Each structure stands twice: as C-alpha cells, then as structure tokens.
Amino acid sequence: MSLSPTRRRAAAALVTAALLLPLAACGGKDDTKDTGSADGGSSGSPKSAQLTVLAAASLTDVFKTAGAAYEKANPGTKVTFSFAGSQELAAQVNQGAPADALVTADTKTMDGLKSDTGTPTVIARNRLVIATGEGNPEKVGSLKDLADPKLKVVLAAPEVPVGRYSKQVLDAQKITVKPVSQEPNVRAVLSKVELGEADAGIVYRTDAATATDKVDAVDIPDAQNAIAQYPAATLKSSRNAEAAAAFVTWLSGPEAQKILQAAGFQKP
C-alpha cells in the first residue's frame, strides 16, 4: 500500500529526528568535556601553587633551607612560612587563618586540631639542652644547677611545647626553678641568653646549634631528657589541597630528611 505525500513527509521527518538525536547527545558530551577542562585548568595545579605553611619557631632556619630546596625541585611552586610557638599556630588555625599545612613541635597541639587537619605524620624529633652564655661563665653543668637562686634562668611558658618539655624534665628530677621570665617560643628563650638577659635557658638542641658563636650548649643526659616530636599535616581549609599534601609527603622523603638531620634534628 502506497503512502500519500503528506504521510511520506511526516515519516521522513520522524526518521530525520531519530538520526539527529544521537548526534545532539554526542555534541552535548563534547561541550561538557571542554567546559570541564577549562574549569580544571583555572583551579591551578601543584606545579603552580602558592603554599602557606604554619611552622613551629624551632624550624625557622631549617625550613628556610627546605623551602628553597622544594621550590627548586617544583618550579612554579612558592612556599611561604609563618613561624611561631605551636600554641600560637593552633590559635591561628582556630581563628581561620588562611594556610595550607601545619607543623608543630609536639603531638599534643596537633591532636587538639583533629577536626581541622588531615592525618599527621611525624617528620622529625629533637632533644633539649641548656643554653648558656658563650664560654658558660656561670659554669652550669646540669639541670640541678638551674635551681641556684643567684642564676637568671629563662624558660618557655608551660603552654609552649618546649616549656612543657622543660617542666617535664625538671619535675622528673624534682628540681624547682624560678625563671626570671617565661617566653612565648623557644627562639625567644634563646634570644634572652644570647643578649645576656639570662644566664641560662632550656632550648632544643637544634636552636642552640644556630647560635654557636653566642651561646654554649650543655647536654642533658638521655635518661633525664625529653624527646620532642614534630608532626606535619595538611589543613582541611587549604585551597591548594593537592599541593599541600605533596609538600607534607615530601617532608618525610629523603631530600627533606637529609636537610633536617644536617641541622641536628633526629629521624622520625
């Protein structure tokens, strides 16, 4: 049976529409793919990231070296550090300061920020020493000497990791020290001794090593010492999550570990 011209035209239109639908669908996928690619490019990549890292004051010198090494190995990436006592860094995180990663001088501070960080990894360890003026003019030889009331001793505040470690070792030896001041970070303690405003202070071994021309370091026996741990973690608020994770991972790698250990830090 033959179709009328009107019916033939209608049938042809239906066939044409059926053939065009798959092409239209393919065209939609291509458009979506192109848009997605453009969006992905504008969001940046680890190779062209601007990273801000909050780091414990005792990492000041070594992280400047490490940051330069990381930038050299990752062209286009810029790493900016903000150094302070770990308790101050925690306050910054709690206040929403824009940053990508955090490295503290103790696990307690990091643990208190679990809701703000990724899983932390310990990247280094450290030990305490007694810093004295150059030549050790007061002849400080051990922790018990710090109890001498004639000695001007400066310690970090107890909420600061190095202050907490100092209290821990002094309490363990039943030594009572009345400091002339309590400082907000380990570098402030070191500075007081360097400037002669204190006869002695307890600092990390690595901090004393940065000022060998101005201070002497009196070792504390291992049995009386404390081990500081430095955990590193990404911050969940980071706008450069992938790049931040890459940097934190790098800190545990061979190049960063070589730099840390050359500065006197111990293996994680």
What digits encode the pLDDT tens for the residues 1-33?
444 444 444 444 443 444 333 333 333 333 333
Q: 93 Cβ partners below 8 Å, 6+ apart?
A: 54, 99, 102, 113, 116, 117, 235
Per-residue pLDDT band for 46 (boundaries 50, 70, 90) equals: low
Which residue has better confidence, 71 or 44?
Answer: 71
Which residue has better confidence, 23 or 223?
Answer: 223
For 46-60, what is the mean pLDDT? 91
For 144-170, what is the mean pLDDT? 97
Q: How far apart are CA 103 and CA 239, in angstroms?
A: 18
User: How many angstroms separate the Cα of 220 from the Cα of each of 14, 159, 181?
Assistant: 91, 22, 21
Distance of CA 232 to the CA centre of its chain: 5
Q: Give the predicted TM-score (pTM) of the model.
A: 0.81
For 45-69, what is the mean pLDDT? 91
Whether the per-residue pLDDT at 37 is higher than 60: the answer is: no
Q: How far apart are CA 168 and CA 125, in angstroms?
A: 17
| pLDDT value for 156 | 98
For 243-255, what is the mean pLDDT? 98
